[in-house]
Structure 1
Amino acid sequence: MSAERPRLSEQEKKNNHIASEQKRRMAIREGFDRLTEIVPGLEGQGRSESVVLRKSVDHMREVLQERQELIERIQALGGEIPPELQ
């Protein structure tokens, strides 16, 4: 036999919702903080989310371009790239 849990009051529901929303916002904030630590050019700047996202995308594009150039260089020199890295 399992005892039924009492229903939450409207105030308890509201408090749970507020706590969940605060937790979600904190996770987003921490994610942006991590990006500012990783992406060059964002260290020590104010944290405009649009700037962080734009610079993160730009950085990812640069890294992917550099990676492709390295793959092509290795192949031009006769090296092989494992399929999982291509």
Structure 2
Amino acid sequence: MSRSGSSPPANQGGNPFGGGPDANGQTSGQDGKARLTEEEKKQNHIASEQKRREAIRAGFDRLCELVPGLEGQGRSEGLVLKRTVEYMKEQLERRRELVKDLEARGDHVPDNLKDPLKILEVLESMQQAAANTPEKPE
């Protein structure tokens, strides 16, 4: 017996976790929200991937603005990364020389100005280790 004015049962599709298909053929989940169709999922994935690629492209464009010699020319991502690492090493070497000159004059150089130089030491030790490692035959 149904009462007049009562709403239809929430679980119309026989699924204990949510309703059945709606008028558009979509089903709803436990929270009652409509699930995405396969086409909507595909479009969301494509949009997310395009957004990710654009963020990477913007990052490489920014590197090209910051690293001398890269602005305004066609470049590969590998070249941009290689030149960026070279430029960073040059800047760290320059910093090392400035710290050395200041200390030679008897000036105190705070540790926080020396800390980035540890990165250069790590890079140099990694390069040395890589140079001493024989390449594996393919």
Work out whether the TM-score is over 0.5: yes
Unaligned runs of 5+ in 1: none
* 4+ runs deviating over 3 angstroms: none
Unaligned runs of 5+ in 2: 1-30, 115-138
Q: Aligned ranges for residues 3-42 of structure 1 at < 5 Å? A: 4-42=32-70
Aligned to 1:20, the other structure's residue is in SS state helix
Aligned to 1:45, the other structure's residue is in SS state coil
In structure 1, C-alpha distance between the alignment counterparts of 2:61 and 2:74, rounded to whole Å: 10
Report which structure shows greater RCO (CA 8 Å, sep ≥6).
1
Corresponding letter in the other structure for 1:6: A
Deviation at 1:5, TM superposition (A): 1.2
Residue-by-residue CA offset, 1:13-52 (whole Å, 9 max, x unaligned): 1111000000000000001111111101112210211111
Match for residue 71 of structure 2 among 33, 43, 65: 43
- TM-score normalised per structure 2: 0.59
Which structure has the highest helix share of the two? Answer: 1
In structure 1, C-alpha distance between the alignment counterparts of 2:92 and 2:32, rounded to whole Å: 55
Match of 1:57 in 2: 85
Rg larger in structure: 2
